[in-house]
Chains A and B, each alone.
Chain A
Amino acid sequence: SAVISQKPSRDICQRGTSLTIQCQVDSQVTMMFWYRQQPGQSLTLIATANQGSEATYESGFVIDKFPISRPNLTFSTLTVSNMSPEDSSIYLCSVGSAGWSYNEQFFGPGTRLTVL
């Protein structure tokens, strides 16, 4: 199993600023994903973080708003740019790896973001 940490665990930010969220895994993983969970809602996939290439974004999410980096197989960052109150959400990273059983897909503890 993998141990995933996220930083920060929570933050309160002002409108118009940007926040970078880090996701660190204690072992190399093939896949890393970023999800958003708006208040009272379900989880929605933002993008797949690809190591060494640009992230793959889902419909409705764009790189200018949510730039993602993945410099190696254990680390990724998600930036929420030019924030507005609508960006207030929990942001979660999840990881999976080829060869793992499906019940081994793990989630990080999440970053709870409030935008004023």
Chain B
Amino acid sequence: AQKITQTQPGMFVQEKEAVTLDCTYDTSDQSYGLFWYKQPSSGEMIFLIYQGSYDEQNATEGRYSLNFQKARKSANLVISASQLGDSAMYFCAMIPAGSYQLTFGKGTKLSVIP
């Protein structure tokens, strides 16, 4: 079984600053994938970034980067140059290799302050 832990229920960041959202995971699988999703108040789930467990380099997608530390089982999301539109819930999720079933953390509510 997989477990995702997000210890920050809420975070505040000043506009244009960088912010790190924490995510740790637990799994007995050797091969897995890690995701971050953004959920604005509208409720839709927006894919941000993906990291495979065997990927040697940290994933990056525009202003989003994933700080993957496999030995520590952490997959923190870094958002650079925060924008007001980044205010939303952020969920870390995990998937075992060969599956499409996601296990989600409890989420972090990010608020960007002008």
Contact = CB atoms under 8 A, between A and B. Distances in A.
Interface of A: 31, 33, 37, 41-45, 48, 90, 92, 94, 96, 101-103, 105-107, 109-110, 112
B107 A42 contact: yes
B68 interface: no
A22 B84 CA distance: 33
Contacts, number: 54
Contact of B44 (A33, A43, A110): A110
Given A42-B105, A92-B45, A31 B91 contact: no
Contacts of B33: 102
B25 interface: no
Most buried by A among B47, B91, B95: B47
Chain B, interface SS category: strand
A45 B95 CA distance: 12
B81 interface: no
Contacts of B106: 41-42
Interface string B83-114: 00000000101010000111111110000000
